[in-house]
Structure 1
Amino acid sequence: MNDQLDKLKIALQITDNEHDDLLQLYLDDATDFLKLRLSVHDLPDEMQAIVRGAAVKKFNRFKNEGMASYSQDGESITFSSNDFDEWSNEIEQWKNDHNNVNQGMWVNPYEV
């Protein structure tokens, strides 16, 4: 079993292997979507917690997928349309830190 799956199962308090395939699918999908948002081929280690968080959200919506809201017996639940909204600040900070805009470069004026 991989480390991400183990950590996800701890977060969800799952002790058996019944949902391992589904959980792994949610981890893989969250990884792919986050790689697209970051425009990277390999997901940075510091983004693994966001992947797990998105997988937790997805699992908690299991069988309620596709619904924007749910109401029963006076209880109402609204689902976010984007699994990564909660971490938008962290994602933007990572992108800003890794876009090479704020990195200086020495230029020899005699070689230009």
Structure 2
Amino acid sequence: MDDQLSKLKIALQFIDDKYDDQLKLYLSDATDFLKLRLSLADSNSLPKAMEAIVRGAAVKRFNRFKNEGMSQYSQDGESITFSSNDFDEWADEISQWKQDHNGINQGMWVNPYEIRH
């Protein structure tokens, strides 16, 4: 998690530890939610290939800080629309990973001499 936190702080251009606890929470939550989407058991670790998605979702969550629950925010002519799902942007990548790891079309060798009746 420390490596993820370091990378997230670089992405957000933070040089101090003021928001570390909050960022760790966002990383942890994003990891848990992504594991649900990938149908991974709690004991399974998140695949390394998915770490960038976790960081991206954590950035989105941080950028919504103090605007949680809003779908839009406007002030002084500036308008921001928040996605209802932090992972929509990576739906194709998540779908591809699930397809590649669903166990279908994976062969298995069976020794016919070991089969007992």
TM-score by length of 1: 0.91
Q: What does residue range 48-87 of structure 1 map to in structure 2 within 5 Å?
A: 48-87=51-90
Shift of 1:39: 1.1
Unpaired segments ≥5 residues, structure 1: none
Identity of aligned residues (%): 77
Alignment RMSD (CA, Å)? 1.9
Residue matched to 2:96: 93
* Paired amino acid for 1:28: S
Partner of 1:32: 32
**Displacement of 1:102 after TM fit?**
2.3
- Measured in 2, the distance between the counterparts of 1:93 and 1:83 equals 18
Q: CA deviation at 1:106?
A: 4.7
Residues in 2 aligned to 1:93 and 1:84: alpha-carbon distance in whole angstroms:
14
The runs of at least 4 aligned residues of structure 1 exceeding 2 Å deviation read: 104-111
Deviation at 1:105, TM superposition (A): 3.5
Unmatched tracts of structure 2, length 5 or more: none
Aligned to 2:8: 8
Q: CA shift at 1:107, angstroms?
A: 5.7
- The range that moved more, 67-76 or 4-13, is 67-76
* TM, length-normalised to structure 2: 0.87
